[in-house]
Amino acid sequence: MTQLHIKNGFVYDPLNRIDGEKMDILVRDGKIVDKLDGKRKRVIDASGMIVMPGGVDIHSHIAGPKVNSGRILRPEDHFKDVEVKTAKTRSGVGRSIPSTFTTGYRYARMGYTTVMDPAMPPLKARHTHEELNDTPIIDKASYPLLGDCWYVLEALRKGSVEECAAYVAWTMRATKGYVIKLVNPGGLEAWGFGGNVRDIDDPVPNFEITPREIVQGLCRVNQLLRMPHTIHVHTNNLGKPGNYATTLETMKCVENMANGDKPLIHVTHCQFSAFKGEDWRTFESGAEEIAKYVNNHSHVTTDMGQIVFTDTTTMTADGPFQYILYQLSGNKWVNSDVETETSTGIVPFTYKRSSFVHAIQWSIGLELALLIRDPWKIYLTTDHPNAGPFTYYPRIMSWLMSRRAREKLMKKMNTRARHKSLLPTIDREYTFYELAIATRAGQAKSLGLKQKGHLGLGADADIALYKIDPSSVDPSRKYRLVRRAFKNAAYTVKDGQIVVKNGEIVKSVNGRTFWVDVGTSASLMEIEPKLKKEFEDYYTVQYENYVVPEHHLAVSSPVSVKA
Amino acid sequence: MTLTLRPKLAFKVPIEAECITPDAFAGKTVKEIGAMKVWEGNRQRSLDELFYVEGEGGAKPEEVDIRIIGDVHKVRRIGVGMSGGEIKIEGDAGVHLGEEMTGGRIVVAGSADSWTGSMMRGGVIEVKGDAGDYVGASYRGSTKGMRGGVILIHGNAGNELGCFMRKGLIKVGGDAGQFVGMHMRDGTILVQGGCEGRAGAEMTGGKIAICGSVPSVLPTFTVDSVKAKVKIDGEEVAGPFYLFVGDQTENGDGKLYVSKAANPHLKFYETYL
């Protein structure tokens, strides 16, 4: 039995409305408790430190065949960043696409304890889980890509939401997935034949169904199955000028399905979906329009997908978009088609301060985060590694918390972009409370992880301590201190065990893998014979071999829902 | 002021010695230099366990003059990232010699191994003997090869000489292997002997001159003209040369000069002029 007493820290726990109060946190057996037994306990003096729940990342490509292809594609990326083995940690390499072990360690060092891998081709689930098993410390889950799956498209075309729901429920169990993920719905299927969909009402070739119907259909399925998170959508036309209109249409198309104030749709890495203008020359920010819509509606949540000016690797399931990026950059690339399910593309990319388009993109991410008033609706991500490696989060935090930090960078970026940016007109600066929402509480709430993102009684004892004193440090002026503090957590506690001390890993533990176990009623279960036929006709894998057994996960943690 | 390093034994396993640079030695006493750490295989050793270190260094890298007497072909990464000063190797050198160097001078009396001067940005590397593959190339996967400086090889060079080269000059006295100036963006390569073919594959800019024989020129190069001479780094090399432009698969504008006299089998190109 391990007991921890974290004393006198400034606690930020937005889910329990605790805003920088000086208080103690007690931990027993990996849970937050209200009192400890006996005297055997470890005391951490947290005076002058911030205490927050462990960080939660809703969208970060950390595992799977695509990530691994990215690793193979980029030896020059590993070369720049090598981590040597220590007594507690394994060696590793990689700057924008770190190896699995290094990914776990680096997240833990920043005080993050839960990370979601957002794009798993269902067929490649086994590989994805094998990589997740080798990603230590952090808890994780994976989102199966379902927006272009033949079975889903076929069922929705017939208008049979129940059949689609049965299939989705089966896929969640078979692939040990957590969230329904849609990437460029319909577009990836079209890409299999060298095409794409132009907008949300452009029918998918061979299926006579529009992206709008796919989004609405899967949103309905999500409601039917009572999934913990909403549908997680990477919009059509992502990365193209003028796509903010498509994004707004996507948000609007599920507007009237709302049931109370519950969110229905998560538009991910929103920065890439908020482009205005006719082409790259007239490119501008559509953040204002998106923010206005999100401010006025409660059914949407988003995350930033914030650009960082650095060399990184873009990787998405959006094959057609990656092809455009390859043509723009002329870099080496990888493209692949996953049978009847999805596609993939990978292109190394460098975001430059001097580039007009990149500088505007940088501005869009921050405009979104600052113009959307409610921090429960927009979360901090870089869509790692697409807009920048996750190791840059502390830098983004400082931009959110300090106007001065933003202005300092803006002085060095493309002049035309600087004049077009809305940022100089925005005074808002995040407080530590808001930052805690954007980096942990909001994301945990959105994901439906009841044990995460807060420090209330019974929560998992995932705690991050940062060496910065909010009573004496003004984050707006001392943004460098903020960066330094959030880069290396003073302590990271995972399930009641101290894993990081002063930015160094002191213990490596295994994190859980969450997946959704949908308890379906009998009427939803009659798709098995049809599925078997589907596998015989279309798949290279047998039905029996497709399913990932539960013992394949190092630490399985099913989340049961009742459809 | 010279610092002398002499191997104490014949090395059997590779030694990673990126600390042997004027930059790392500057401002240190012989004792401090001897205590610097290197890897011998999977064991960490101090430099004086492997070398006799004698002499005197300088305060700044430019004042440090390192002489290595003996065979160090097992010692990797000598002179990595050096910015000034001089290293003289009286024997053979190992792989990654002078990688990413920005200034100074390295002279090898014997031969150098692969990756000599890869990603270098400035300074001079002179090899009296032969060199291995990937001289002045980029690291695997990267598109940033040599970006400045001069590499002189008196003997022969291996394959993929100047791969992804962006600037600078490479001169080879003897022959070169396959894929001279592959993916080259800019800069100059002169091969005084012949090469094994596929010169300039996927080059988009820069200049390659080959004074000896080549088996053939890639079909993605178009013949432009016959030139009497070619200018390399301000000096004229007498020809005549066939001038090819390519690589057309990359819409390239690289210039490939191939000696007319040494390649009578390329005479058919003249019908296209």
pLDDT digits (tens, 9 = 90+) for B118-173: 999 999 999 999 999 999 999 999 999 999 999 999 999 999 999 999 999 999 99
Q: What share of chain A is helix, strand, coil (3-state, %, to 5)?
A: 35, 20, 40
pLDDT of residue B239: 83
For residues A472 and A309, give the distance between their C-alpha atoms in angstroms, rounded to a whole number: 31
Q: Report DSSP letters for A136-205, one per residue.
A: -SSEEEEEEB-TT-HHHHHHHHTT-HHHHHHHHHHHHHHHT--S-EEESTTHHHHHTTT----STTSPPT
- Position B31 in a domain: no
Q: Say which of A73, A76, A331 has its CB closest to residue B139.
A: A76
B188 pLDDT band (50/70/90 cuts)? Answer: very high
Q: pLDDT tens digit string along A97-135?
A: 999 999 999 999 999 999 999 999 999 999 999 999 999
One-letter identity of residue A8:
N
Q: Give the per-residue pLDDT at A94.
A: 87
Using CA atoms, how far apart are residues A402 and A407, in angstroms rounded to an integer? 9
Under the banding of pLDDT at 50, 70 and 90, the label for residue A560 is very high
pLDDT tens-digit map of A391-431: 999 999 999 999 999 999 999 999 999 999 999 999 999 99
Q: What's the pLDDT at A261?
A: 83
* Residue tagged 């169904």 (tokens): A209
H, E, C per residue of A3-16 = EEEEEEEEEEEHHH
DSSP secondary structure letter of residue A21: E
Say what the pLDDT of residue A520 is: 77
Element at B227 (helix H, strand E): strand B222-232
Mean pLDDT of A326-344: 91
Angstrom distance (rounded) from CA A157 to CA B178: 56
Q: Is A199 exposed, middle or buried (0-12, 13-18, 19+ CB in 10 A)?
A: middle
- B138 touches A at CB < 8 Å: yes
Residue B57: its pLDDT value, please? 81
How far is A517 from B82, CA to CA, in rounded Å?
Answer: 58
Residues of A in contact with B143 (CB under 8 A): 331
Distance from CA of B142 to the nearest CA of A (A): 5
Residue B46 lies in a domain: no
A457, A38 in Cβ contact below 8 A?
no
Our CA-based measurement puts residue B252 at a distance from the nearest CA of chain A, in whole angstroms, of 13
Q: Does B219 touch chain A (CB under 8 A)?
A: no
For B13, other C-beta atoms within 10 Å of its C-beta total 10
Torsion angle, alpha carbons of A13, A456, A303, A115, to 10? 120
pLDDT at B58: 85
Model confidence at A522: pLDDT above 80: no
Residue A72 C-alpha, separation from nearest chain B C-alpha, in angstroms: 9
Does residue A338 contact residue A183 with C-beta atoms inside 8 Å? Answer: no
The CA distance from B72 to A361, in Å, is 51
Which residue in chain B is spatially nearest to A79 when comparing CA positions?
B139
The count of other CB atoms within 10 Å of the CB of residue A11 is: 24
| Residue B137 to chain A, least CA–CA distance (Å) | 13
Burial classification of residue B164, based on how many CB atoms lie within 10 Å of its CB (0-12 exposed, 13-18 middle, 19 or more buried): buried
Nearest residue on chain A to B144, alpha-carbon basis: A76
CB contact residues (below 8 A), chain A span 293-352, against chain B: 331-332
List, for residues A435-492, the tens digit of each pLDDT value: 999 999 999 999 999 999 999 999 999 999 999 999 999 999 999 999 999 999 999 9
Closest CA to B242 of B142, B150, A334, B221: B221
Q: Is residue B118 part of a domain?
A: yes
Min Cα distance B138 → chain A (Å) is 9
Sorting pLDDT into bands at 50, 70 and 90, what band is A1?
low
Longest dimension (CA), chain B: 69
Q: Is B248 on the interface with A (CB under 8 A)?
A: no
Which residues of chain B neighbour A73 with C-beta distances below 8 Å?
141
Q: How far is B139 from chain A (nearest CA, A)?
A: 6
Does pLDDT of A79 surpass 90? no
Total number of domains constituting chain B: 1
Of B60, B40, B64, B42, nearest in space to B51 by CA: B40
Mean pLDDT (whole number) for A297-301: 94
Whether A234 has its CB under 8 Å from any CB of chain B: the answer is no
Pairing of strands A342-350, A334-338: antiparallel
Chain B, nearest residue to A332 by Cα? B141
Per the domain annotation, does B170 fall within a domain? yes
Q: Which residue of B has its CA nearest to A80?
A: B139
Instruction: Quote the minimal CA–CA distance from B45 to chain A in Å.
Output: 17
Secondary structure (3-state) at B11: coil
Residues 456-515 of A with CB under 8 A from B: none
* Inside any domain, residue B15: no
ipTM above 0.95, yes or no: no
**A178: left (phi > 0), else alpha (psi -120 to 50), else beta?**
alpha
Query: Would the CB atoms of A79 and B138 count as touching at under 8 Å?
Result: no
Confidence band (pLDDT; 50, 70, 90) for A265?
very high
Closest chain B CA to residue A311: B142
With a CB cutoff of 8 Å and minimum separation 6, the contacts of A84 are: A91
Task: Using a cut of 0.90, tell me whether the model's pTM lies above it.
Answer: yes
Angle at A437 between CA A228 and CA A229, to 5 degrees: 10
The pair of three-digit structure tokens given for residue A478, joined into one six-digit string: 């001392």
User: Cβ B142–A73 below 8 Å, yes or no?
Assistant: no
- Where does residue A136 rank: exposed (0-12), middle (13-18), buried (19+ CB within 10 A)? buried
Q: Which residues of B touch A311 (CB under 8 A)?
A: none
Residue with tokens 């191939």: B258
Q: Does B141 touch chain A (CB under 8 A)?
A: yes
**For residue A523, what pLDDT band results from cuts at 50, 70 and 90?**
low
pLDDT at A525 over 80: no
Cα A198 to Cα A229: distance, rounded to the nearest angstrom = 28
C-alpha angle A220-A224-A228 in degrees, rounded to nearest 5: 100
Does position A157 have pLDDT exceeding 90, yes or no?
yes
How far is residue A255 from each of residues A153, A180, A303, measured CA to CA in Å? 21, 18, 19
Q: B139 and A79: CB-CB below 8 Å?
A: yes
Residue from A127, A90, A125, A117 nearest A106 by CA: A90
Least confident of A139-143, A528-532, B51-55: A528-532
For an interface test with B, the pick among A69, A77, A79, A326 (most B C-beta atoms closer than 10 Å) comes out as: A79
Question: Alpha helix locations (H) across A450-508?
Answer: 479-487
Contacts of A190 (CB under 8 A, 6+ apart): A196, A197, A204, A205, A320
CB contact under 8 A, B139 and A75: yes
**pLDDT score for A526:** 78
| Amino acid at residue number A482 | V
The answer to whether residue B134 sits within a structural domain is yes
pLDDT more than 90, % of chain A: 91
B139 CB near a chain A CB, below 8 Å? yes
Listed in order, strand segments (DSSP E) in A472-563 are: 491-494, 497-501, 504-505, 513-519, 556-562
- Whether B118 contacts chain A with CB within 8 A: no
Structural domain boundaries enclosing B218: 111-272
Indicate the average pLDDT of chain B: 94
Q: Measured between CA atoms, how close is A75 to chain B, in angstroms? A: 6
Size of interface A-B (CB pairs under 8 A): 17
Task: Spell out which residues of chain B touch residue A74, defining contact as CB-CB under 8 Å.
Answer: 141
Do A74 and B141 count as a contact with CB atoms less than 8 A apart?
A: yes
Q: Is residue B135 part of a domain?
A: yes
**Interval B230-236 mean pLDDT:** 91
Calculate helix-pair angle for A161-175, A211-225, nearest 10 degrees.
70
Across all residues in chain A, what is the average pLDDT?
A: 94
Interchain CB contact of B249 with A (< 8 Å): no
Q: Is residue B50 part of a domain?
A: no
Report d(CA A478, CA A485) in Å as an integer: 11
Chain A partners within 8 Å of B139 (Cβ): 75-76, 79
Is residue A31 within a helix (H) or strand (E), and if so which, with residue range? strand A31-33
A204 dihedral zone (left: phi>0; alpha: psi -120 to 50; beta): beta
